[in-house]
Structure 1
């Protein structure tokens, strides 16, 4: 069984850390070697265009994490000092009080289809709903594998968006992408159904693309952090005050949320997911009330300990995208 609470983990040599992390995990020698050697230029050339080299990012692990009752080491890729240490120290302060508890709203993504040049937008909206089943069926024909796994388009929404020039009709495909982030699947579905949408509405389809505001794919996390381990009552109260400042002032919130994203982005990068998509979704979500606010909340419980909660869209996957490269996936 993995025990993430390792005293003096930061004092170990790199080889000692690798041995500790990989012990009991069924990794081949080649897979372990990837940790120190990174990707080949051939692999880099297969991933992006016009490759001339690569840039290295340190890959570390955050220790002391207990997530939903299970000890885990968290992979984090970042160039910034102190991020991994801060995460490990925070996890240590929460470890004996239950660690981190998480919940997710599901694996739903949205695809948007923008329709212009409609003379009767409200009637067109109604016609879309009248043809809802046909629209869903045509979308799902594009990804029978996803549908067979229980995913696919589950519903549609129709929004009327007023711009300075006209009222746009914007159809949202509500897609369960399961273990994938889902951009390719959602975009393909949106593109395939566009001729039908034009026929129904009498308008002209322009954009057909996923939105990174994944408000139906929200992750929530909660932890209780020992006041004593954080440095005492005054420090804990100052942390709460700093949160209240960030939640009320967008200038402070920008840097506050940058700190939150230091941890999130490093894990997203380490797992081969799309850092820009997650960051865009998080900052849009922070503005959902009409004002840019803190992504986290901090408060005191009856015992005087610090309680933190986080709620953020998390459009990540364990299949597809960069996760399918040899560097990041098991064969």
Structure 2
């Protein structure tokens, strides 16, 4: 049976169409998607002059909470999709990913300069009014089950801070939260004339939007031609421990996780900057996002992430390909999407660690790097495989100048035939 990555693009689209992931119209959209329609692009950004397309690929073999997924990833980086798929297969054969998601809300801040005596007592007298104003600012949010869940106040050095915990429903929530806190701030300004109003805005720290994923990988799924599964597991656990104590290593450990996360977040039309800010805000300084340890059942991996994600609104509902990505993901709720993103991050992490502690990180990247060199040298689609084959014969000489020489020679030989 031909493996998915061995299929041509057309054959992959055939497969998706046959399995019901795509309609004929969906397929046409993907095949004509390099340029975003101007009528959409010009309303998304200012001074629009064009589009900046990225490849969209499918990571497969994901089994998350008993459900099989094909996961679309938008990325320019070679090996991210292949690595995530490879690790997901090992994990799925070991029982799959198990997730837990807490989705309570996004924090909105309202801040004044100064100090408020009896701050708690003040809030108690005004709380009912503030809830009422918040609801009037965005009534449809309450109609869909969202709304303000909690209001707190505290004195900080030189500042008074009100926090509103707002359930954004299925949206990521930035616009919703900003609309509500700005309305509530107007009331507080009138009630606190002796304090200088400073700002009202959402916080990109999202501790109440928590997604956790856990896996238990069988040792036989980790073995290589030269190492037993136990040896590989022990080395992955050691590398994980290193990331807990070395900020220098933790930065790269976490980057490998973000490779998959940002690619999925981008593909769904969610805000990659907001997600990255929330994830790093939730970290202890210099800490690692995941942990791996050896247990009696195999290699246990855990990841815990703050993920302010939505399933509708903004670019999620505007970008045609983002809507198609949501369809391929089987139209997950925002809560389900958080679990999927956490699973992709953990798979990306396992793939990177297994490669790093066995053959080294470059070995798995080389073929894709050779392809990139061939394209940079100007090779056409029909020439890339031949150029890559030559580069494999002399990997230490693989650079752009040498690739250009190989391409030139191949073309000369072709003309002589």
- Per the TM superposition, whether the score is higher than 0.5 is yes
Matches of 1:269 and 1:298 in 2, distance apart? 27
Query: Could you tell me whether the CA contact under 8 Å between 1:61 and 1:74 is conserved in 2?
Result: yes
Structure 1 runs of 4+ with >3 Å offset: none
Alignment coverage as a number of residue pairs: 316
**Correspondence for 1:313:** 306
1:150 partnered with 2:145: yes
1:141 partnered with 2:153: no
SS in 2 for 1:99: coil
Higher helix share: 2
Deviation string for 1:23-62 (max 9, x for gaps)? 3436443322222322223321121111111111110111
Matches of 1:28 and 1:7 in 2, distance apart? 23
Matches of 2:88 and 2:41 in 1, distance apart? 34
Per mean C-alpha deviation after superposition, the further-off stretch among 294-303 and 63-72 is: 294-303
Matches of 1:256 and 1:302 in 2, distance apart? 25
The counterpart of 1:198, out of the listed 189, 194, 206, is 189
Q: Which runs of 5+ in 1 are unaligned?
A: 1-5
TM-score normalized by the length of structure 1: 0.90
Query: Could you tell me whether the CA contact under 8 Å between 1:109 and 1:176 is conserved in 2?
Result: yes
**Correspondence for 1:175:** 166
Query: Could you tell me whether the CA contact under 8 Å between 2:16 and 2:22 is conserved in 1?
Result: no
Matches of 1:157 and 1:294 in 2, distance apart? 31
Matches of 2:25 and 2:279 in 1, distance apart? 36
Change (3 A) 1:7 1:66: farther
**Correspondence for 1:219:** 211
**Correspondence for 2:38:** 41
Deviation string for 1:218-249 (max 9, x for gaps)? 01111122222222111111111111111112
SS in 2 for 1:286: coil
Larger radius of gyration: 2
Q: For 1:17-32, what aligned pairs fall within 5 Å after superposition?
A: 17-25=12-20, 27-32=22-27
**Correspondence for 1:294:** 288
Higher strand share: 1
1:60 partnered with 2:57: yes
RMSD over aligned Cα atoms: 1.8
**Correspondence for 1:229:** 221
TM-score normalized by the length of structure 2: 0.72
Query: Could you tell me whether the CA contact under 8 Å between 2:65 and 2:98 is conserved in 1?
Result: yes
Q: Which runs of 5+ in 2 are unaligned?
A: 224-228, 328-417
**Correspondence for 1:207:** 199
Deviation string for 1:276-303 (max 9, x for gaps)? 000011011112xxx3211111111203
